[in-house]
């Protein structure tokens, strides 16, 4: 089961939100920003701040989980936690759809469906199987 598409949709929406918000496109035309208040951009910015790459290109060793990566078990554990935290970005999908303007009776079921698909993907990754 190809379970990457919901994550790709969320990442694409979040990236477009970030591009839209940073570029200031809505300010040129004097309109209120239609995607203002969406927290997907804040979430992506938070993840970017937590990563080991710093702003000036150098490696930021004290970014996060500094002591977990000392041995191979720590690397595996931090890798699994990274995968899980990446997949939980899909939990933002109902909020993102609602902030885009969709009503809650549409956004919540669609987000629930996406979360179910991504849950199958996490099980596939953890058990190293591919369910058809």
CB of 21 to other proteins, least distance (A): 11
Q: Where along the sequence are the contacts to other proteins (CB under 8 A)?
A: 1-5, 8-9, 11-13, 15-16, 19-20, 25-26, 29, 31-32, 34-35, 100-103, 124, 130
CB of 110 to other proteins, least distance (A): 12
Nearer to other proteins, 19 or 63 (CB): 19
C-beta of residue 5 within 8 angstroms of C-beta of residue 118:
no
Nearer to other proteins, 59 or 130 (CB): 130
CB of 62 to other proteins, least distance (A): 29
Burial 51-75 (b: 16+ CB within 10 A, else e): eeeeeeeeeeeeeeeeeeeeeeeee
Output the DSSP codes for 71-90.
SHHHHHHHHHHHHHHHHGGG
CB of 47 to other proteins, least distance (A): 16
**Beta pairing partners, 59:** 53
Nearer to other proteins, 5 or 65 (CB): 5
């Amino acid at each position: 089961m190809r379970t990457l598409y919901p994550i790709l949709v969320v990442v694409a929406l979040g990236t477009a939100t970030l591009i839209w918000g940073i570029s200031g496109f809505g300010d040129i035309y004097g309109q209120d920003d239609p995607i203002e208040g969406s927290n997907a951009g804040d979430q992506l910015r938070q993840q970017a701040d937590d990563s080991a790459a710093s702003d000036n290109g150098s490696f930021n060793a004290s970014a996060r989980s500094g002591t977990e990566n000392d041995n191979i078990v720590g690397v595996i554990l931090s890798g699994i936690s990274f995968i899980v935290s990446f997949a939980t970005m899909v939990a933002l999908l109902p909020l993102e759809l609602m902030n885009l303007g969709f009503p809650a009776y549409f956004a919540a079921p669609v987000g629930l469906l996406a979360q179910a698909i991504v849950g199958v993907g996490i099980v596939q990754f953890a058990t190293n199987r591919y369910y058809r």
